[in-house]
Amino acid sequence: MAIRLKPFEHAYQPGAVIIAEGSPAESLFIIKTGSVMVVKHGPHQEAVVLDVLGPGSVVGELALVDSQKRSASVEAVEFTTCVEIPRALVLEQVNRAGPLVSILLRVMALRLRLAADQVAELRRHANSAGSGTSDPETARHLARHLRELETQVLSWDDGAE
């Protein structure tokens, strides 16, 4: 007989870390009230805010799908409540959907991780440029990454019209 785990609700004060970057994935979270920011740390531990999310948003799903460590931290911006859904319950639903769905989810997770890494790098460079350290090399670097990101996103289209 399969163990049935149930979702449960948590409350977080402003500044509380809901998910820590690099930690193992035990569950995903659905934001019920409040807001959170998704933060990725660079090679020198500089923080880059990838997004601010509110009610209805899901966080922590990537690591459940691809079995990697958490790709970013999630912190409460204000008093926030989340519904936590345990890994076993999520994987049970994915497995029930069949192997094709599982493969597609892993491919999408990989693509999203790559895109998030590129966005974080671009924002780090943009922050450097905005702090008075702009130079032609930084501008070239940003332009190159934007072209790479554009090419990658366009290749994901797979010809859909």
pLDDT in tens, 7-39: 899 999 999 999 999 999 999 999 999 999 999
Q: For the chain, which residues make up each domain, given as ranges?
A: 8-96, 98-156
> Token pair 């805010």 is at which residue?
49
Q: At residue 114, what is the residue type?
A: L
Kindly provide the b/e burial profile for residues 72-109, where b requires at least 16 CB atoms within 10 angstroms of the residue's own CB.
Answer: bbbbbbeebbbebbbbebbeeebeeeeeeeeeebeeeb
* Percent of the chain at pLDDT exceeding 70: 76
| Its pTM surpasses 0.75 | no
Is 142:123 a contact under the CB 8 Å cutoff? no
What phi-psi label fits residue 44: left (phi over 0), alpha (psi between -120 and 50 degrees) or beta? alpha
Q: At residue 82, what is the residue type?
A: C
Tell me which CATH code domain 8-96 carries.
2.60.120.10
